[in-house]
Amino acid sequence: MKVLRSERGQAAVVTVVFLVVLLGMASLVLDVGSWFREQRATQAAADASALAAAQALPDSTGDAGVLADQYLAKNGGGTAAVQFSSDAVAFDTVSVKVERPAESVFARLFGIESVTVNAKATARAGGLDAARWVAPIVVNIKHPDLNCGGPPSKPVPCFGKATQLDLHHLHSPGGGDAAGSFGLINLDLDSGGNVGASTLASWMESGFDQYMKLGAYDAAPSSNFNNGQFKSALNVRLNDDLLFPIYKTITGSGSNAVYEVVGWVGFSVTNFNANGSSGKVWGSFTKVIWEGIQSESGTNLNFGTRTVALVE
């Protein structure tokens, strides 16, 4: 006699096995996605940590290490390995490698509590080949407070010292006389020397919104220093850090003068006076980290002005 066997039990077993496999695959997909998100967050934390550390370079690797740890703690924490190297100048580059756990959710069912994710970022501090948000007042390279020490390739201004900039009668070490220009400069190479008062006031209040390169720049009309718009803009920026171009030589004369810009310096304006044919600005030179295009050679005169950038 033929015995008929039921297959319903086998089908149930296969279904259970299939559901287990499906659940495992779904949990793996969800957790892998979570791990990738954590890896991206770790990379962002490494980037922020390296950029923060580079702000202290090349002056102090100790301060750079502290900044790296502080910014990592602000961005989710983890374990950081910080290394310093030299590119254009000694200890101008920092690498930060970050490791931290990425917790599992569903994968815990299979004994996977967490995985380790890691990321690495390298940042460099350097001088500027071009600077953004520059204000249109020039400083003579021979100003006595512009170099309180340091080699010619890396002058160190007298940071924090009360300083006066006389703008009414500018002379150049290389010849030329810009009497009457008040040290105002046209930052836009495409516009010619007759830049308007409203434009100069805008640059004074917000900075020039393009990258200013080193080179020859026309003087701006002296009357703009006494213009109400310009004075109002300068009032807005009192006690803020501004970036002023540094000139080495003047060619031409008066309002037709042309300045040879060789660098930039941070300056905090505390007061100013525009009176007829004379102009003065008071404040102090400041060390600044500024937005700009970084110099690859390290030879640019930076006067305490640097930019930081990720290089890896």
pLDDT per residue of the chain (312 residues) written in tens, 0 to 9: 454 455 555 555 555 555 555 555 556 666 677 778 888 999 999 999 999 999 999 889 999 999 999 999 998 888 889 999 998 888 999 999 999 987 776 666 666 667 888 999 999 999 999 999 999 999 988 888 998 887 766 788 999 999 999 876 555 544 455 555 668 899 998 776 578 889 999 999 999 999 999 999 998 877 788 888 999 999 999 999 999 999 988 887 766 788 999 999 999 999 998 776 667 899 999 999 999 999 887 666 678 899 999 998
pLDDT at 167: 76
Same domain for 120 and 62: yes
pLDDT digits (tens, 9 = 90+) for 127-179: 999 999 999 999 988 888 998 887 766 788 999 999 999 876 555 544 455 55
Among 77, 105, 126, where does a domain finish?
A: 126
**Does residue 7 lie in a domain region?**
no
- Give the number of other Cβ atoms within 10 Å of residue 60's Cβ: 12
Same domain for 162 and 43: no
Among 126, 154, 177, where does a domain finish?
A: 126
The pTM (predicted TM-score) of the whole model is 0.82
**Domain CATH code at residue 108:** 3.30.1300
Same domain for 171 and 100: no
Same domain for 226 and 288: yes
Q: Tokens 């020397």 correspond to what residue?
A: 193
Q: Strand pairing partners for 166?
A: 280
Among 70, 101, 126, where does a domain finish?
A: 126
**Does residue 224 lie in a domain region?**
yes
Q: Is 169 exposed, middle or buried (0-12, 13-18, 19+ CB in 10 A)?
A: middle
Same domain for 255 and 176: yes
**Does residue 5 lie in a domain region?**
no
**Does residue 212 lie in a domain region?**
yes
Q: Which residues contact 29 (CB under 8 A, 6 or more apart)?
A: none
Q: What does the alpha-carbon distance between residue 246 and residue 35 come to, in Å, rounded to a whole number?
A: 50
User: Which is it for strands 163-166 and 212-213: parallel, antiparallel or unpaired?
Assistant: unpaired
Same domain for 292 and 180: yes
Range of the domain at 52: 12-126
> Helices 197-206 and 228-236: crossing angle, nearest 10°?
0
Computed on alpha carbons and rounded to an integer, the radius of gyration of the chain in Å comes to 30
**Does residue 300 lie in a domain region?**
yes
